[in-house]
Structure 1
Amino acid sequence: MLTTRFAILTLIFALITVNLFSQLNNIYSIVPKPFSLNTNGERFAITNQLRVSVTGHPDHRIYANASRFVRRMAERTGIFLDEQGFVTAKDTNSASSVLIVIKRPGKLQLREDESYFIQINSKQVQVRAETDLGAMHALETLMQLVSADSSGYYLPGLTINDKPRFTWRGLLLDPALHFLPVNVIKRTLDGMAAVKLNVLHLTLCNDQGFRFESKIFPRLQQLASDGNFYTQEQIKDIVNYASERGIRVVPEVVVPAHTTAILVAYPELATLKKEYTLQRYFGVFDPVLDPTNEKVYTFLSKLFTEVAGLFPDQVFHIGGDENTGKDWNNSRQIRTYMRANGIDSAAALQTLFNKKILPVITKNKKTMMGWDEIFQPGLPEDVIIQSWRGKQAFYESVKAGHDAVLSNGYYIDLIQPASYHYLNDPQPDDADISAKQAQHILGGEATMWGEHVTPETVDSRIWPRTAAIAERLWSEKDVRDVDDMYRRLDIVSLQLEQLGLCHLSFKNTMLRRLCNGYDTRALQALVDVIEPLKIYERNQGDTMYTIFSPYTKLADVATPDQAVPRIFTKQVDDFLQTGDSTLETEIKQQLLKWQNNHIAFLTLLRNSPVLQEAEPLSLHLSEIAATALEAIDLIQRHETAGKQWVQQKEMLLETAKEQGGRCELQVVAPIQKLVNAVSGDAETSSTESTWLVSTRQ
């Protein structure tokens, strides 16, 4: 009997302990969330005595990372950590306050070990890792764990075992459409390292420009770059900067379509022989290389070899997307060639093209990668597929034996919320694939296409949402708490700013420019509740914007996934469920601010005509805020609105959904819920008026 009781008590204690550890894990703001975390109740005080040592067999880059760790710790805490200017190979004291133990140098390649172990107690912080790549991830975790109270700065006592779920955790940058200077690339790499992303995919040419220096074909940058390109020295600098942060750099030289820039310099390579000019608009265009011209393969062999020498990564991306096939169909020579060789489609012809360039890539000891259009019958198994159009091709490619990377659902340029990306899993439970086939799922990649970003705005489109994608690709599948993700994302966003990213600070500069003055409060209130049009709606018909258009307007200062509407929506939902008076007060205060803001906004228009496009949004915000206040008043009086009132407000809300300045109000839906709650229509108000109905009863 005593044994049974002891077993029961042991089980209860274990369950309580597990639950406690789970709760404690949620306290910390680590992104991505680690595989396991246990706390010990101790704390490591951060003082000016902090020293870092490295033992084992690391790569040299750990010393630069450890040195940056010391400097960042000093900047975060304000503590003078001057005694150790740099961490070097001479720093091997195992009694140092921060000890890093590494078994071997890590290789920047697929499926490398990136795991790490952290143990923190009152006397020492220990980091242990198989490779220096894992140790570098551990240092980023430590930076996120820096805490403070009235006693000073400290690291909480805990043990972390961590490892990534997927080996490919990428971000695509697209300087081909809008050029991004080297400093923008570097600060992006710093942000990537902070959230444990490990692949930078650079799209280096498109119809709008050729963006790197070719010493073999100098006309490419001379005639097809508008003077905006990376020199070979700059490319090497970017690759080295990334390597020091444990990040691979994969180049994309897109062929055979999206090659207008190449054809501007070398028109003899085109399917249709004519003079070409750089595209100034965005979209899908017809110019394409001639797959029947042997000069094309000679050209690509030399160009690809040159590129391969600049980028040491094992993967070479050939693009392969969005070939309309129109130029091929309009070429008598191509049609004759296809008939003579039994080729029945443009897709089959492109597969033949891919097979002919594959030996060039293989000769350079690279693995070919391309967008999912290249996944066609006859494509060799060792080609990596990047899926962007949907998940069907993604799972079909892994079933066919291809390694694959998912980008569908991670297109951050489409202005979708972090929650959408966060719940998009490369390997969901319902995926119809075997365990063996699942081994071909390399991971995922966020894509920051460059149509509508500039060096000033690009950070705000990448961060902090990409940190949520980073967690999806690193953490376990069951880490899916959206509310906790947003809680941690807000904190990590500030830490990213401390690294030099401009996703928060850019807004004040742009607001002052739009207002033509220092007082930006009225515009700020509006900008907080709007977002740019999503998906591909901003550039209607692909004809509203060119590469020269100003990206300094309302839709550029507005950012994706705004916090104010998200919080307001949750407040309204909770209020309608509970009738909480504190929530009611907070909601009414917010609504009064919006209702009164329009008058102040009109004053801005006197000195800033550029804001005329925002005037309808400001008016609609004021009107629907007033509507919401009326609805809350009815709820307070336990009354139902009249039919005429409801019809009038429904029309008002419908009008408020209209875009202005290529932006949309994000608080229409929660205000609609308040109207529904007092409409008296059981069908529309059943989910919004739980508390109201219960109080009437």
Structure 2
Amino acid sequence: MRTIFILLMLCSVLTPMAAQQQPAVNLMPIPANLQMATGRLVIDLSFSVGISGNSDPRLQRGVERFLNDLRRQTGMLPLDMKETEPSKAMLVIRAAHANKEVLELGEDESYSLEVSTAGAKLDTPTTLGALHGLQTFLQLVTTTADGFAVPALSIQDKPRFPWRGLMIDVGRHFIPLDVLRRNLDGMAAVKLNVLHWHLSENQGFRVESKKFPKLHEMGSDGLFYTQDEIRDLIAYARERGIRVMPEFDMPGHSTAWFVGYPELASAPGPYQIERKWGVFDPAMDPTQESTYKFLDDFIGEMAGLFPDQYFHIGGDEVNGKQWDMGSSATRICRHTSTDECRKSSASTAKPWWDGMKSCARICQRTLWSSPGAVRSRSRRRPNRVIAGYSRMGITLTSCGRRNGTTALIRSAARRQT
């Protein structure tokens, strides 16, 4: 009994001490550097935002979204609130220059945010940094006895990792565009910057192809995205600082391709869309020159639709059963196909690791095995690696349920940033 009493007393003493050591604000991800100050900036009907210096249209639209979000969050700001002159603004944004029209890996995303009782300043080298800083400001808004306020503080922030991605699998389960846009909003809120869009699977091919229309007409059950819809979604993501990397899985995970084009497969058809999960036998035929001509034309079309510098080609989980029934030359063809396809477009090929153990240096790899495998294999073959292992940060989603979306995005952000 005495021991229990002593433990309870220790807990009562240590808990307030631990609470004092915790950050006084709830931010996700935690900034690289945060220093609390005294006081707070009141958010009321007089709140306004101004842009000083570079006035990038993308930043202006970002400020409009910020004000709309703040209006919904507080429910008190005037409906006609707009950007104002920097000299009159309570939040002044200074972005040195705009980012490239098509976002690239490694762009400067840093920012600094200074908040005092008199106002706030958001300084950043780029528009991307300003967008991140505005999201941080939104998270800082708290309810007080008098209304709303932001604590006085100083933040200097930049990401730990240049690639902070969320994979969404629409091949196995089609996801409507409004749900994808909501996911992009959630990604922007926690500063994720890459949508890895898994667009083809045994269960469905989800992109309109004008060169090979039977891909989406026969391989999707009518559930696919038109090219105009894809362009709109890419633009929506770009406005929020998010790149969109497409994935078309090959040579396996490709049954939906063969429904309309059975001549691509290593065994005669006919083929049907798979209605269950698993690793299936069908795989593209690497012994036929027509396969490479098809892929060359298809990848060229898709590389024109998706402007990102990276293009994911899958390459995973080929069980080889169809290949075992064919020519022994498949091994040679399998290792030459990636280089040829890569040279046909402006994108960097990005396969899953298990499909590219002999990957050329033009490829970058997405690794989904253990952290130890990342270290050991990278030492043997130096190259950039995207860690897709769940404990290292990328949350994979293969369903379209709306419940749990926020939790998935937060899980990915917490692990990566």
**Residues 131-154 of structure 1, C-alpha deviations (whole Å, 9 max, x = no match):** 111111111111111112212211
Aligned identity (percent) is: 36
* Uncovered stretches (5+) of structure 2, i.e. residues with no partner: 1-16
> SS where residue 137 of structure 1 aligns?
helix
Aligned partner of 2:340 in structure 1 is: 356
- CA deviations 1:195-245 (Å, max 9, x no partner) are 110000111111111101111111111111100000011101110110000
2:54 is matched by which residue type in structure 1?
Answer: H
Distance across 2 between alignment mates of 1:21 and 1:100: 35
* Equivalent residue, structure 1, for 2:346: 365
Q: Which has the higher helix share?
A: 1
In the alignment, the residues of structure 2 paired with residue 50 and residue 318 of structure 1 have an alpha-carbon distance, to the nearest angstrom, of 48
SS in 1 for 2:28: coil
CA distance in 1, matches of 2:323, 2:161: 39
Is contact 1:406–1:445 with CA below 8 Å preserved after alignment?
A: yes
Identify the residue that residue 93 of structure 2 maps to in structure 1: 100
TM-score normalised per structure 1: 0.55
Query: Structure 1 residues 459, 385: CA separation in 2 closer, same or farther (over 3 Å shift)?
Result: farther
By how many angstroms is 1:76 displaced?
1.3
Match of 2:383 in 1: 402
1:204, 1:166 → 2: CA distance? Answer: 25
Q: 1:210 aligns with which of 205, 208, 219?
A: 205
SS at match of 2:109: coil
Structure 1 contact 58–132 (Cα < 8 Å) conserved: no
C-alpha displacement of 1:472: 2.5
Alignment match, 2:366: 386
CA distance in 1, matches of 2:324, 2:48: 67
Structure label with greater radius of gyration: 1
For residues 305 and 458 of structure 1, what CA distance do their matches in structure 2 show?
34
2:31 to 31, 34, 44: 34
One-letter amino acid of the counterpart of residue 472, structure 1:
R
Deviations 1:540-595 (A, max 9, x none): xxxxxxxxxxxxxxxxxxxxxxxxxxxxxxxxxxxxxxxxxxxxxxxxxxxxxxxx
Counterparts of 1:290 and 1:323, CA distance in 2? 12
CA contact 1:257–1:321 (8 Å) conserved in 2: yes
Consecutive unaligned residues of structure 1, counting only runs of 5 or more, are 1-19, 411-423, 426-443, 475-697
Tell me the residue number matched to 2:178: 183
Aligned partner (choices 267, 289, 296) of residue 294 of structure 1: 289
Shift of 1:281: 0.8
- The residue correspondences of 1:664-679 to structure 2 (distance < 5 A) are none
- AA aligned opposite 2:346: K
Supply the distance in 1 between the matched residues of 2:333 and 2:403 (Cα, whole angstroms): 39
Report the number of matched residues.
399
Q: Measure the CA separation in 1 of the matches of 2:177 and 2:310.
A: 22
Paired position in structure 1 for 2:235: 240
* Aligned counterpart in structure 1 of residue 60 of structure 2, from 60, 63, 77: 63
Per the alignment, residue 376 of structure 1 pairs with: 357
Q: Greater relative contact order: 1 or 2 (C-alpha under 8 angstroms, separation 6 or more)?
A: 2
Contact 1:204–1:211 at 8 Å: present in 2 too? yes
Report the Cα distance in structure 2 between the residues aligned to 1:24 and 1:139, rounded to whole angstroms: 26
Q: 2:47 aligns with which of 40, 45, 50?
A: 50
Structure 1 residue 382 displacement after superposition: 2.8
Q: Which amino acid aligns with 2:406?
A: W
Whether the 8 Å contact between 2:112 and 2:133 is mirrored in structure 1 is yes
Q: Residue deviations 1:346-384, cap 9 Å, x none?
A: xx6532332332222xxx22111010113323x212311
Q: CA RMSD in A?
A: 2.0
Match of 2:108 in 1: 113
Structure 1 CA distance, aligned partners of 2:370 and 2:334? 20
Question: 1:279 is matched with which residue?
Answer: 274
The TM-score with structure 2 as length reference comes to 0.91
Contact map agreement 1:175 1:204 (CA 8 A) in 2: yes
Cα distance in structure 2, aligned partners of 1:187 and 1:328: 42
Greater shift after overlay, 385-394 or 39-48?
Answer: 385-394
CA–CA distance in 1 between the matches of 2:55 and 2:396?
32
| Superposition deviation, residue 25 in structure 1 | 5.5
Residue 319 of structure 1 is matched in structure 2 by 314
Larger strand share, 1 or 2: 2
| Matched residue type, 1:102 | A
Does the C-alpha gap of structure 1 residues 81 and 185 become closer, same or farther in structure 2, counting only changes over 3 Å? same
Per-residue CA deviation, residues 655-675 of structure 1 (Å, 9 max, x unaligned), is xxxxxxxxxxxxxxxxxxxxx
Alpha carbons 2:186, 2:409 under 8 Å: kept: no
